[in-house]
Structure 1
Amino acid sequence: MSDAITRGSCLCGAVRFHLDLPSKWCAHCHCNMCRKAHGAGYVTWVGFEANHFTLDSGEDALRWFDSSAGAQRGFCSRCGSTMFFRSEQWAGEL
């Protein structure tokens, strides 16, 4: 799947992005913080090198919340869609 691109957005479409494939990893997280942030039993995350991520629009709508020490969760301030996670533990990844 090299040289492929996938696109995504929040629910309202204010925040739009694309990612250069392949991803670095994919995993399910069952930690309390992820379950609370998403209102679900677990969250599926796909990890990318930060330089494979491009924010196409919505920089003004994207907000970051300090969810725990050294970690932030990105969300759309207009529709509330949870979108991204970044952490000092995995610097350079999104």
Structure 2
Amino acid sequence: MHRVKRAHPSARLREKMGRIRRKPQAMFVKLRTARFLKSQSDARGITVGFTGRVARLARVHHYGETDQVAPGGPAYRYPARKLLGFTPADRQIIRDRLLAYLA
């Protein structure tokens, strides 16, 4: 019978030195980047949103809809998580600038 030689536990600790540990990010942080956001404009205005598979994922999580966890898997009702939108401070800034423009 042949015995397998195992590395000493301290040898594995030395391997891990210098590794950069990243803090866990909030959900969908990358989804808000310009890579996934698409803009369209026409005579009536401009829209910014998601397209394709990313749009479906964003819609399900933004509004808290039901979707399958995996293809062919069980359905789950996701809690609503606002991905895009205006904060009350944003709305106030927009309102003030609009009123200043109209005045």
Specify the structure having the higher radius of gyration (Cα): 2
Larger relative strand fraction: 1
Higher relative contact order (CA 8 A, sep 6+): 1
> Shorter-chain TM-score category?
under 0.3
Larger relative helix fraction: 2
